[in-house]
Amino acid sequence: MTSTRTLPPAVVGPTPRQLRARLRQARRRHHPGSLGEVLTDAYVVVLFVALYGWFAVAAIRDHLAAPQVARTDPGDRYWIAVAAVTAGAGLVWWGLRLTGPLLVTPAAHAWLVSSPVDRRAWLLPRFGGLVGGGTIGVGLLAVAAAYAGGLDRPADLGWAALAGLTGGASATGWAVVA
């Protein structure tokens, strides 16, 4: 006696494009918002970044030009700068981990990451956006810091931009790897 057993068809997972489309549809159903609300939110974010950014640049520039800063011991200024850079790096690292493409909520982990989808193709667009945004953001921050330091040497702005772009790209890449 021979038995012929039929196997069930193989399960084919969704493509990353299909998965992103379904996620967008599900999010739209849960968060209905008009174009006016989106533009208002974007305006508020841009306004806050511009106001606080300009305030920070002006305050740092005024502080560096103050006579008491010029008389400060260089060792003290060095350690203040080290503390500021360390605090800033910690905040940036925390922000990158929150927006990184590999940090998912428990629900997304249970439903999406465990599904048979090509994770590389699914996460690659978000990774590209994250690296691009981080690179441009840190580059602009470095130029703002160089501008706050003074414009006696305009070449410093170029070097600061290059260092910021390089640091932003490498930091976002390291955050994803970690």
Output the pLDDT for position 47. Answer: 94
Q: Is the pTM of this model over 0.75?
A: no
Q: How far is CA 123 from CA 17, 145, 176, in A?
A: 11, 32, 11
- Find all residues with CB under 8 Å of 13, minimum gap 6, and list them: 115, 116, 117, 118
Output the pLDDT for position 123. Answer: 76
| Residues 150 and 175 grouped into a single domain | yes
Output the pLDDT for position 133. Answer: 80
Specify if 3 maps to a domain. no
Domain of residue 65: give its range.
37-71
Report which residue type is found at 23. L
- Find all residues with CB under 8 Å of 163, minimum gap 6, and list them: 142
Specify if 62 maps to a domain. yes
Specify if 171 maps to a domain. yes
Output the pLDDT for position 32. Answer: 66
| Residues 108 and 128 grouped into a single domain | yes
Work out how many domains the chain is built from and give that number. 2
Terminal C-alpha separation, the chain: 58
**Which segments of the chain have a pLDDT < 50?**
none
The residue to which tokens 């967008």 are assigned? 24
Specify if 26 maps to a domain. no
| Residues 44 and 105 grouped into a single domain | no
Q: How far is Cα 17 from Cα 45, in angstroms, rounded to an integer?
A: 29
DSSP tag of 42:
H
Specify if 103 maps to a domain. yes
Which of 53, 71, 89 corresponds to the end of one domain?
71
Output the pLDDT for position 109. Answer: 67
H helix intervals, the chain: 16-30, 35-65, 67-70, 74-99, 106-108, 119-149, 155-177
CB 129 within 8 A of CB 27: no
Max Cα–Cα distance, the chain, nearest Å? 100
